[in-house]
Amino acid sequence: MQLAELRRGIDDRTALARALQEIVGPGHVFTHPADLIAYEYDGCNFMAALPDLVVCPLSRDEVVGIVRAAGRHRVPVIARGAGTGLAGGAITPIGGIIVSLARMKRILQVDLDNRYAVVEPGVINLDITAAVQARGYFFAPDPSSQSACSVGGNVANNSGGVHTLAFGVTTNHVLGLELVLADGSVVQLGGRGADEPGLDLPGLVVGSEGTLGIVTAVTVRLMRRREGLLTMLGIFPTIEQASQSVAEIIASGIGPTALEMIDQLTVEAVEPAVHAGLPLDAGAVLLIEVEGVREVLAPSAGTIDALCRRNGAREVRTARTEEERHLYWAARKGAFGAMGRLAPNYYLHDAVVPRSRLPAIMRQVMEIARQNGIRVANVFHAGDGNLHPLIPYDAAVPGETERVMKASEEILAACVAAGGSLSGEHGIGFEKNNYMPWIFSETDLAAQRRLKRAWDPEDLMNPFKMFPTPISCGELMVRRPPRLSASGLWI
């Protein structure tokens, strides 16, 4: 079956556009191809699909009006946050309306006595912490893109971050949600306390990737800053030695708040940009952070130092100043942005393996890369086994995209075979929906489909995501560099 056969046409595009303009104003509905092209990608730049319309609401009531208008025309609705997603979750493989929530960016309430905040979905992740940090609080989920990604997108994908090891993922910090359903009705799920009575419906919606409705407000948990912290770097000759250190640090019972891996190829890309002092000849660098009361930090650091050196670390550093600590983290969080130094394109994967399998899996990943004639940069959340193999390549070179996709599938299959999962934080989206039978039986998937139909009988809310479909992401593969827009900017 061809993609064109599955695309849902709009019976009267002009009438639908006019209806949307009446809801949000004419300046916030986009129909021209020159405008729509900015929305054919999300952060995953190897798939592209042009939406039929883009609309930018400012309030819950406008979202309700958009959903009802789309329902009358039986047009798919795809919610989009900041567009930083990496699994094709916010693109339109069979057409539809993209509802960009970027204008809904108000922090509606902050209650530090009860440690929660109520925010709209377009609020940038880091802005929540910025609003409360002067009083000693923070919002714990911290993806590497936290300075750009939105809370709505975090909810959709159940995003993690570099401190997931200690604080958990987004679902652990969402107390309540306001959700617009496919029929335009509005429901309040959860509340403002940790243990609201009734079914855990917020837990169902977090991670559902916009397939059950559109989130218009989120009640998030705020946390108190710890008394002190230490940030350390372990510098290793090989990635296997660094991986073994991860397993032994966890087994020691210390409980670090972060354990992040940066391999040599990643260091080569990021160090010239960040100047964090990472040695270019290191096989791997382990970034370790420990938080808690000051009295326990020094003994914990001593144990970590000894374990790293026992596994072959040639050097273990402790950040002496806040500036040095920020440089270390800038190297980790700026890694993906620095990959343009290696190649014009990259494909980033997201999978999870048991921590005890890290050394073996890393050897397997590098062997897969060798067999397929590609390079792999590894920078990932080692503490919770959340791998992010990153393959730099040039889409303009004939056959290179195909080699990258083949290697990517082999890496993902190896992680699943090791007892892991398809995703740790990026979601399934359209990228990996046809791999879902690798980890779920047909009975499992049927139960999930029935649940989606109960919430969205017409399958209008972000269709062709999460569940297997007649087409794969290869149908939308971009086998060229990102296109040059009319404005002269690379999209």
Segment 94-134, tens digit of pLDDT: 999 999 999 999 999 999 999 999 999 999 999 999 999 99
Kindly report the three-state secondary structure assignment for every residue of the chain: CCHHHHCCCCCCHHHHHHHHHHHHCHHHEECCHHHHHHHCCCCCCCECCCCCEEECCCCHHHHHHHHHHHHHHCCCEEEECCCCCCCCCCCCCCCCEEEECCCCCCEEEEECCCCEEEECCCCEHHHHHHHHHHHCEECCCCCCCCCCCEHHHHHHHCCCCCCHHHHCCHHHHEEEEEEECCCCCEEEEECCCCCCCCCCHHHHHCCCCCCCCEEEEEEEECEECCCEEEEEEEEECCHHHHHHHHHHHHHCCCCCCEEEEEEHHHHHHHHHHHCCCCCCCCCEEEEEEEEECHHHHHHHHHHHHHHHHHCCCCEEEECCCHHHHHHHHHHHHCCHHHHHHCCCEEEECCEECCHHHHHHHHHHHHHHHHHHCCCCEEEEEHHHCEECEEEEECCCCCCHHHHHHHHHHHHHHHHHHCCCECCCCCCCCCCCHHHHHHCCCHHHHHHHHHHHHHHCCCCCECCCCCCCCCCCHHHHECCCCCCECCCCCEC
The pLDDT-based confidence of 2 (bands split at 50, 70, 90) is low
Is there a contact between 336 and 260 (Cβ–Cβ < 8 Å)?
Answer: no
Q: Which of 464, 453, 345, 483 is nearest to 87 (CA)?
A: 464
**CATH architecture assigned to 107-224:** 2-Layer Sandwich (3.30)
Question: Does 363 score more than 50 pLDDT?
Answer: yes
- Angstrom distance (rounded) from CA 79 to CA 177: 15
Class of the domain covering 3-103+451-476: alpha beta
pLDDT for 193 equals 83
> Which residue ranges does the chain devote to CATH 3.30.43.10?
3-103+451-476
Whole-structure pTM value: 0.93
Radius of gyration from C-alpha coordinates of the chain: 23
**Average pLDDT of the residues in 334-360:** 91
384-426 pLDDT tens trace? 999 999 999 998 999 999 999 999 999 999 999 999 999 999 9
Question: Does 484 score more than 60 pLDDT?
Answer: no
pLDDT for 3 equals 59
| Percent of the chain residues topping a pLDDT of 90 | 84
The pLDDT-based confidence of 472 (bands split at 50, 70, 90) is confident
The pLDDT-based confidence of 316 (bands split at 50, 70, 90) is very high
pLDDT for 255 equals 87
- Angstrom distance (rounded) from CA 101 to CA 78: 10
The pLDDT-based confidence of 4 (bands split at 50, 70, 90) is low
Question: Does 483 score more than 80 pLDDT?
Answer: no
pLDDT for 479 equals 53
Question: Does 371 score more than 70 pLDDT?
Answer: yes
> Which residue ranges does the chain devote to CATH 3.30.465.10?
107-224
Question: Does 272 score more than 80 pLDDT?
Answer: yes
Q: Regarding predicted confidence, which is higher, 223 or 473?
A: 223
The pLDDT-based confidence of 294 (bands split at 50, 70, 90) is confident
- Angstrom distance (rounded) from CA 197 to CA 191: 9
17-32 pLDDT tens trace? 999 999 999 999 999 9
Q: Are β-strands 97-100 and 53-55 bridged in parallel, bridged antiparallel, or unpaired?
A: parallel
Question: Does 16 score more than 90 pLDDT?
Answer: yes
Question: Does 233 score more than 50 pLDDT?
Answer: yes
**CATH architecture assigned to 226-422:** 3-Layer(aba) Sandwich (3.40)
> Which residue ranges does the chain devote to CATH 3.40.462.10?
226-422
The pLDDT-based confidence of 474 (bands split at 50, 70, 90) is confident
